[in-house]
């Protein structure tokens, strides 16, 4: 009783606003920028520009659900969510972070000066809206995220069941050393593959690599760059995934992001041409002293010449010696990334289950039943694939 009264008093002066329209979101920009500057772990992926661009993609299948916390009109916290309109993606009514496949990290935006009070107010506000959701799924969390620490603790204290799981890590290369010392430590196999790719491309014709954006110190024709990389993406293997840049959602995202990133000095785009035809690209943001590689594509018709591999090797060499900290390749288990990586930042996903019957049923399934089934399945696979089992089966067949 005393704890509840203290919590109510602590949050009494906090006003909560639920933002669900594009117009309300746009009005938040100046306040959002000030709040981002007070965050303990600011990131380009927590800026208003990033979420604005991401919304251009996600608005086709979701509704904005930004829970904002203010005191005396000053913005102190944001829980940046969307509500999916596709129930087949998740069973039950789902809220999730406003992210896209290019997102590398995400979190709540919290001003550190009132962290506990603000997270408490956002937690209470979310739980009061139980009629809107059965499950909350928060991906791309760094280990020290507000979501995985303070927010998770407060949800648990309020009686909510949650599950935190490790997701694919974000591999990186340290850029503070020299290219020569870094490349000397790469495998002989990788170096041989790079040399073969260069030789094949030189035989194919006139080879050129262009770098666009503030990091390159060049003025950028954003329309031309977006058209060029969209054309490469439209001829890549990613057309099978629905995430290539010739699709409406991804194209709207990259177009908006490019304009906003160019205005902030973040934009960095590399394009490789053979005989003046664009065949490979990498799209990056350079911010906070880091290089964030968001996506790389190559024309599938040139796959045998490995244009993407050559472009990746070239641009990485050029990033050394520029006073940058790290080159982050984005979460994933792609083997080619780990041939270059020196380390990897862990990322996590937190799932919170609502108090509704469907939310509790999901919790029972995902926390209780599903892990048991997975354990039994793994044991069966291990037993049936053991050498002794195979030997006994072979004897039996004779």
Q: Where are the domains of the chain?
A: 2-168+347-375, 176-324
pLDDT of residue 324: 97
Query: What is the third-level CATH fold of 2-168+347-375?
Result: Aminopeptidase (3.40.630)
Which pLDDT value is given to residue 192?
96
Task: Tell me if 64 sits within 8 A of 20, measured CB to CB.
Answer: yes
**pLDDT attached to residue 357:** 78
pLDDT at 114: 87
Spell out, as residue ranges, where the chain has pLDDT lower than 50.
1-11, 395-396, 398
Residue 219: per-residue pLDDT: 79
Largest CA distance in the chain: 83
Total number of residues shown for the chain = 398
Which neighbouring-strand residues pair with 350?
138, 164
What are 368-390's pLDDT values in tens digits? Answer: 676 677 666 767 776 666 665 55
Q: Which CATH class is domain 176-324?
A: alpha beta
pLDDT of 227 reads: 97
Residue appearing with tokens 């997975």: 374
pLDDT for position 374: 66
- Fold equal for 2-168+347-375 and 176-324: yes
Which pLDDT does position 1 carry in this prediction? 39
H/E/C letters for each residue in 162-175? EEEEEEEEEEEEEC
In the prediction, which pLDDT does 276 show? 95
Q: Determine the 3-state secondary structure of 118 from DSSP.
A: helix
What is this structure's pTM? 0.88
CB 83 within 8 A of CB 66: no
- Residue for token digits 């690599």? 209
CB-based contact 91:358 (threshold 8 Å): yes
Query: Which H, E and C letters describe 233-296, residue by residue?
Result: HHCCHHHHCCCCCCCHHHHHHHHHHHHHHHHHCCEEEEEEEECCEEEEEEEEEEECCEEEEEEE
What is the distance between the terminal CA atoms of the chain, rounded to a whole angstrom? Answer: 74
Those residues whose C-beta lies under 8 Å from the C-beta of residue 146, and which sit 6 or more positions away, are 40, 107, 108, 110, 115, 119
């Amino acid at each position: 009783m005393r704890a509840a009264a203290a919590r109510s008093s602590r949050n009494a002066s906090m006003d909560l606003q639920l933002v669900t329209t594009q117009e309300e979101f746009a009005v938040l920009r100046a306040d959002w920028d000030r709040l981002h500057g007070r965050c303990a772990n600011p990131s380009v992926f927590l800026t208003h520009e990033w979420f604005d661009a991401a919304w251009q993609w996600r608005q086709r299948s979701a509704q904005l659900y930004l829970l904002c916390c203010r005191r005396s009109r000053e913005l102190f916290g944001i829980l940046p969510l969307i509500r999916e309109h596709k129930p087949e993606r998740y069973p039950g009514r789902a809220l999730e972070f406003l992210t896209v496949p290019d997102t590398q990290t995400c979190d709540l935006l919290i001003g550190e000066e009132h962290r506990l009070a603000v997270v408490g107010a956002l937690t209470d506000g979310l739980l009061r809206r139980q009629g809107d959701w059965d499950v909350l799924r928060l991906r791309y969390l760094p280990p020290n995220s507000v979501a995985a620490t303070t927010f998770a603790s407060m949800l648990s204290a309020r009686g909510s069941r949650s599950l935190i799981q490790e997701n694919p890590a974000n591999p990186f290369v340290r850029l503070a050393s020299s290219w020569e010392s870094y490349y000397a430590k790469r495998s002989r196999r990788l170096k041989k593959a790079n040399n073969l790719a260069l030789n094949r491309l030189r035989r194919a014709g006139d080879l050129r690599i262009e770098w666009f954006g503030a990091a390159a110190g060049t003025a950028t024709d954003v329309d031309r760059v977006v058209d060029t990389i969209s054309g490469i993406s439209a001829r890549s293997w990613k057309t099978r995934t629905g995430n290539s840049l010739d699709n409406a959602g991804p194209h709207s995202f990259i177009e908006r992001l490019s304009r906003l990133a160019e205005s902030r000095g973040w934009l960095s785009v590399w394009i490789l041409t053979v005989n003046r035809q664009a065949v490979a690209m990498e799209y990056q943001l350079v911010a906070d002293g880091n290089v964030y590689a968001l996506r790389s594509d190559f024309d599938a018709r040139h796959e045998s010449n490995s244009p993407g591999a050559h472009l990746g090797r070239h641009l990485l060499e050029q990033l050394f010696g520029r006073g940058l900290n790290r080159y982050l390749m984005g979460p994933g288990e792609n083997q080619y990334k780990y041939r270059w990586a020196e380390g990897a930042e862990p990322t996590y996903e937190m799932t919170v289950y609502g108090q509704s019957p469907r939310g509790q049923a999901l919790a029972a399934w995902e926390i209780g039943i599903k892990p048991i089934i997975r354990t039994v399945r793994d044991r069966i696979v291990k037993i049936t694939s053991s050498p002794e089992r195979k030997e006994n089966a072979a004897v039996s067949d004779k």
